[in-house]
């Protein structure tokens, strides 16, 4: 079982362009899931906007990126979170519990439409955390 910790950057309609830019800088390959792949896109994004993009580089760097829907806050400079992801469910649930304690839960840690468990919170210091537990 393993887990990883990496930055997660949000954009509004520029996620694919950002992935291509960071790929040109760091090399590697990226994958993209669009909002359209999971049904009707929420307000403020199109079906082609990036719900989740991930760049894996030859040096072992991982960068995750998404386009946020219109109703969600997005302030350039504060548009980055830290992602914890993997298949070590017990460890990740433990991190989630400690990170969310005394903080604000934006999305409860629960099963999502893509099959994984996912949650988002701001810890007591205001740092945004994304936790994703792989289904498979």
Instruction: Specify burial of residue 21 (Cβ count, 10 A radius: 0-12, 13-18, 19+).
Output: exposed
Domains of the chain by residue range: 3-133
pLDDT of amino acid 96? 95
- Selected from 3.40.640.10, 3.30.565.10, 3.30.365.10, 3.10.180.10, the CATH number assigned to the domain covering 3-133 reads 3.10.180.10
pLDDT digits (tens, 9 = 90+) for 30-59: 999 999 999 888 888 899 999 999 999 998
pLDDT digits (tens, 9 = 90+) for 54-108: 999 998 999 999 999 888 888 887 889 999 999 999 999 999 999 999 999 999 9
Residue 69's contacts (CB-CB under 8 Å, 6 or more residues apart) are 41, 42, 43, 44, 45
Distance (Å, whole) CA 51 – CA 60: 23
Quick one: which H or E segment has residue 32? strand 29-34
- Degrees to nearest 5, angle at CA 60 with 58 and 97: 155
pLDDT digits (tens, 9 = 90+) for 114-126: 999 999 999 988 8
Q: Is the pTM of this model over 0.85?
A: no
């Amino acid at each position: 079982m393993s887990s990883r910790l990496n930055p997660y950057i949000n954009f509004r309609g520029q996620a694919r362009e950002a992935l291509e830019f960071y790929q040109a800088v760091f090399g590697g390959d990226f994958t993209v899931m669009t909002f359209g792949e999971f049904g009707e896109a929420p307000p403020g994004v199109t079906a082609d906007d990036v719900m989740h993009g991930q760049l894996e580089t030859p040096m072992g760097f991982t960068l995750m990126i998404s386009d946020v829907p219109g109703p969600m806050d997005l302030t350039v400079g504060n548009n980055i979170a830290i992602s914890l992801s993997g298949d070590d469910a017990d460890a990740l649930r433990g991190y989630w519990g400690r990170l969310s304690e005394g903080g604000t839960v934006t999305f409860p840690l629960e099963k999502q439409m893509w099959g994984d468990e996912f949650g988002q919170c701001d810890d007591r210091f205001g740092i945004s955390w994304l936790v994703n537990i792989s289904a498979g």
